[in-house]
Amino acid sequence: MTDQYQAFSKSPIGKFVIKNLGLPSPLELDRFQSATPVIQGAVLFGAAPNSVLTGDIAQVLSNIHANTYAGNNSALQQAAAKVGLSVSAFNDGDKESKFKAVVFDASGIQNSEQLSELHAFFNPIARQIQSSGRVIVVGLTPEQAPTIKQAIAQRALEGFVKSVGKEFKKGIAAQLVYVDKDAGQNIESTLRFVLSPRSAYVSGQVIRVAKANVVDVDWAKPLAGKTAVVTGASRGIGEAIAHVLSRDGAHVICLDVPQQQADLDRVASAIGGSTLAIDITAADAGEKIKAAAAQKGGVDIIIHNAGITRDKTLANMKPELWDLVININLSAIERVNDYLLEHAGINENGRIVCVSSISGIAGNLGQTNYAASKAGVIGVVKFTAPLLQKGITINAVAPGFIETQMTAAIPFAIREAGRRMNSMSQGGQPVDVAETIALFASTASTGLNGNVVRVCGQSLLGA
Ligand code: NAD
């Protein structure tokens, strides 16, 4: 649905009113276009002394042909030269250069005193980041740091990044990537995502990268030859997921309830996919999914997107509304996963991606059933991830306010509050959720397991 406030804010009178009343001014965010470079604009690259991920980051910047700049940092220059990354000089005191992204390797920060490296690097250039720009800090997983002092300093990065996301405005997104020991070679899919407009509505997030097999992919079609099942695919976020996974090369089986057959056919035919009209709560749903994918080589990817709301305060909530929401949003996911995992229904290096919600993180008035179900989805990810084998991973996205039929049904005042209470001052688009799901679905994302990433423009709720 259209955001009339955003349209108004672009008109001359709107600009005047918004400026004078100090209202939020939502900027049109850059979004990914096929066949464009990962990042369009200059990248400033920095590193704290003794950082250990500089070479891996430089390799990714080299692979994406980033127009890279760096200050006088000999360790960084050497790491860049080693992987063939050409780095232009950025001189101290240069206030003219503008950057589309700033990437800082903070892995060398060993104690809280050394956090001053963040200030020293970012303070001079804080006003030189372009609209829809990116700030990316890469650190070491605190839990694996060799000393408590380093663990504390690395943990501190989270507060820094989240504050940058709130401060920089202009649609600039800030992310923290924590990298496990020896997992530097697994960061490419994540860095590509956070640098590109695919992450338009993701900000203030922490993505954790673990050591895993490095799988070579065609980055233009990272899902080539894969079969993906998307539940709730006939409209809204599910439709966008089906389109994005198909764009990335997958054959998509679009699943929705039989009543949605017409829309399901429309979506599937637009992307050359197939349909599966079943209720995800049916006892044999897992079996039917496995059977439907069998002709296409089996399930490589399953996206648990189908979900409903039945909002009532707890005092007014009938038991059947409670049960319906828990069953569709949570129990059905558990049953389908159990069936597929117990019956070899997911291929090696397979991907399970669940759709949670920030309601499941923050809780929400009138949504005890929904929030319980979506918090449970986070539980599914957290407790399944360590058990998975054969390169299979499970992750979740937690959308905030996304412009769909679901949010169009929210009363006006609450809807407006939901839309504006985030660092981007606007609702997200279904494609923003889909792009984040595509990161987790990617064949290259072997090192991403057990993550929950919010797609909420850094909503204030539950942050
Ligand atoms: P939507 O209502 O537009 O689409 C949901 C789809 O799921 C529908 O096509 C519906 O028919 C299908 N579905 C429902 N029950 C089903 C069942 N039993 N079996 C098979 N299919 C079923 O919703 P949406 O806004 O696109 O939301 C998609 C997901 O994102 C949901 O899980 C929702 O909870 C979550 N989410 C949405 C938002 C938002 O702002 N829109 C925010 C947070 C989370």
Q: Supply the DSSP string of 209-226, one letter for each residue.
A: E---------TTSTTTT-
Which CATH fold topology does 227-455 show?
Answer: Rossmann fold (3.40.50)
User: At 390, is the secondary structure helix, strand, or coil?
Assistant: coil
- Residue 46, ligand 1, Cβ within 6 A: no
CATH of domain 31-209: 3.40.50.720
The answer, yes or no, to whether residue 381 has pLDDT greater than 70, is: yes
The span from the CA of 85 to the CA of 16, in Å, is: 45
Give the pLDDT score at 405.
83
- Distance of CA 235 from the midpoint of ligand 1 (Å): 8
- Residue 367, ligand 1, Cβ within 6 A: no
- Distance of CA 26 from the midpoint of ligand 1 (Å): 26
Give the pLDDT score at 20.
57
Where does the pLDDT of residue 4 fall: very low under 50, low under 70, confident under 90, or very high at 90 and above?
low
- Residue 305, ligand 1, Cβ within 6 A: yes
Q: How far is CA 405 from CA 27, 123, 200, 293, in A?
A: 23, 42, 21, 29
Cβ atoms of 62 and 123 closer than 8 Å? no
Closest ligand 1 atom to residue 304 Cα is: 32
| pLDDT tens string 64-97 | 999 999 999 999 999 999 999 999 999 999 999 9
Q: How far is CA 99 from CA 60, 118, 271, in A?
A: 17, 17, 36
In this chain, the answer to whether the domains covering 31-209 and 227-455 adopt an identical fold is: yes
**Which residues, in sequence order, are bridge partners of residue 301?**
228, 351
The answer, yes or no, to whether residue 457 has pLDDT greater than 70, is: yes
Q: Among 353, 404, 416, name the best residue to mutate to test ligand 1's pocket (greatest count of ligand atoms within 8 A of Cβ).
A: 404
The span from the CA of 68 to the CA of 200, in Å, is: 21
DSSP secondary structure string, 438-451? HHHH-TT-TT--S-
| pLDDT tens string 332-356 | 999 999 999 999 999 999 999 999 9
- Residue 355, ligand 1, Cβ within 6 A: yes
Phi-psi region of 372 (alpha: psi -120 to 50; beta: other; left: phi over 0): alpha
Catalytic-role residue among 69, 178, 201, 370: 370
- Distance of CA 103 from the midpoint of ligand 1 (Å): 35
- Do the strands 346-355 and 299-304 form a parallel or antiparallel pair, or are they unpaired? parallel
- Residue 401, ligand 1, Cβ within 6 A: yes
Q: Among 243, 276, 402, 419, name the best residue to mutate to test ligand 1's pocket (greatest count of ligand atoms within 8 A of Cβ).
A: 402
- Distance of CA 412 from the midpoint of ligand 1 (Å): 20
Closest ligand 1 atom to residue 281 Cα is: 18
Q: What is the DSSP letter of 453?
A: E
Strand order in the sheet with 393-399: 274-277, 251-256, 227-231, 299-304, 346-355, 393-399, 452-455
The span from the CA of 139 to the CA of 256, in Å, is: 40
Both tokens of 34, joined, read: 């096929």
Residue with tokens 């220059």: 77
Active site residue 370: yes
| pLDDT tens string 16-47 | 555 555 556 689 999 999 889 999 999 999 99
Contacts of residues 270-279 at CB distance under 8 Å and 24 or more positions apart, as own/partner, are: 270/243, 271/242, 271/243, 271/246, 272/246, 273/242, 273/246, 276/229
Where does the pLDDT of residue 14 fall: very low under 50, low under 70, confident under 90, or very high at 90 and above?
low
Cβ atoms of 238 and 216 closer than 8 Å? no
Average predicted confidence (pLDDT) for the chain: 95
Both tokens of 353, joined, read: 């991606």
The span from the CA of 388 to the CA of 379, in Å, is: 14
- Residue 456, ligand 1, Cβ within 6 A: no
Give the pLDDT score at 10.
65
Give the pLDDT score at 412.
85
Q: Among 3, 230, 237, 280, name the best residue to mutate to test ligand 1's pocket (greatest count of ligand atoms within 8 A of Cβ).
A: 237
- Distance of CA 308 from the midpoint of ligand 1 (Å): 5
| pLDDT tens string 248-279 | 999 999 999 999 999 999 999 999 999 999 99
The span from the CA of 196 to the CA of 30, in Å, is: 9
- Residue 412: Cβ within 10 Å count: 7
First CA to last CA distance, the chain: 26
- Residue 402, ligand 1, Cβ within 6 A: yes
Q: Hey, where are the domains in the chain?
A: 31-209, 227-455
The answer, yes or no, to whether residue 463 has pLDDT greater than 80, is: no
Tell the residue nearest (CA) to atom 25 of ligand 1: 406
- Which pTM was predicted? 0.95
Give the pLDDT score at 379.
98
The residue-averaged pLDDT of 188-201 equals 98
**Which residues, in sequence order, are bridge partners of residue 101?**
43, 134
| pLDDT tens string 391-441 | 999 999 999 999 988 788 888 888 888 898 999 999 999 999 999 999 999
Tell the residue nearest (CA) to atom 3 of ligand 1: 236
Tell the residue nearest (CA) to atom 12 of ligand 1: 232
Cβ atoms of 179 and 136 closer than 8 Å? no
Phi-psi region of 25 (alpha: psi -120 to 50; beta: other; left: phi over 0): beta
